[in-house]
């Protein structure tokens, strides 16, 4: 018997408040650039690092993510963080994915380079970097030295982290959920910044006004 093929799973965690075109372009680029088998979008339930702002309820953010990804057969959406009680820690999600997908899988956690700087201050960062590869999506010209300087000292000494963080340039990262919420509040257009179904869902429910 031949060896079992390793399944490569891309994971996009985020508040998705709302999900936008930049998220989708990032996921599609990661899928092809790193030869991933699928992308799993994981809307956060109760993100501990966003407690200073009132997020839209998890169910609405989940529905918008499903609407946005429905036309791509290699995009899936998970409810694991929404249904898990308490704060949503990335390390808990990665452990659960390891259990679900088993030993014959590689987990690639896709996020922005600025978010990786945050992640390194989150719960158990060294363990996170051992459990999953990280794809840092950056704007062209992003100063990567900031990322290298922020790596945990213990990991830097073992030279174990650099190969665990991959970099991917995405021009569409200029789009942000913060700007989209401001635009809706101010009555400015968000057409083409979010998928049409997401825009209609936001308008129908009066979100962000």
pLDDT per residue of the chain (209 residues) written in tens, 0 to 9: 456 788 999 999 989 999 999 999 999 999 999 999 999 999 998 766 555 567 899 999 999 999 999 999 999 999 999 998 877 778 889 889 999 999 899 999 998 877 777 776 766 777 888 889 999 888 776 666 666 666 655 544 444 445 688 888 887 678 889 999 999 999 999 999 999 999 999 999 999 99
CATH no. for 7-205: 3.40.50.620
Spell out the domain ranges in the chain: 7-205
Threshold 0.85, pTM exceeds = yes
The strand pair at 38-43 and 75-77 is best described as parallel
Q: Which long-range contacts (CB under 8 A, 24 or more apart) does 172-179 make?
A: 172/21, 172/22, 172/25, 172/26, 173/22, 173/26, 173/112, 173/137, 173/138, 173/139, 174/22, 174/139, 175/20, 175/21, 175/22, 176/20, 176/22, 177/15, 177/16, 177/17, 177/18, 177/19, 177/20
């Amino acid at each position: 018997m031949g060896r079992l093929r390793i399944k490569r799973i891309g994971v996009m965690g985020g508040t998705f408040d709302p999900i936008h075109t930049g998220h989708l372009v990032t996921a599609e680029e990661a899928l092809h650039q790193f030869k991933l088998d699928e992308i799993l979008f994981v809307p956060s339930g109760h993100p501990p690092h966003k407690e200073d702002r009132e997020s839209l309820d998890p169910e609405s953010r989940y529905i918008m993510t499903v609407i946005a990804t429905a036309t791509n057969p290699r995009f899936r959406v998970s409810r694991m963080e929404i249904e898990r009680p308490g704060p949503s820690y990335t390390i808990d999600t990665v452990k659960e994915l390891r259990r679900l997908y088993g030993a014959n899988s590689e987990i690639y956690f896709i996020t922005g380079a600025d978010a990786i700087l945050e992640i390194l201050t989150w719960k158990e960062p060294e363990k996170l970097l051992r459990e999953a590869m990280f794809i840092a999506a950056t704007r062209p010209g992003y100063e990567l030295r900031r990322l290298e300087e922020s790596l945990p000292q213990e990991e830097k000494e073992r030279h174990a982290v650099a190969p665990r963080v991959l970099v991917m340039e995405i021009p569409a990262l200029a789009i942000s959920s913060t700007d989209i919420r401001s635009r809706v509040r101010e009555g400015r257009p968000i057409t083409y910044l979010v998928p049409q179904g997401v825009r209609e869902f936001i308008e129908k429910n009066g979100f962000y006004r």
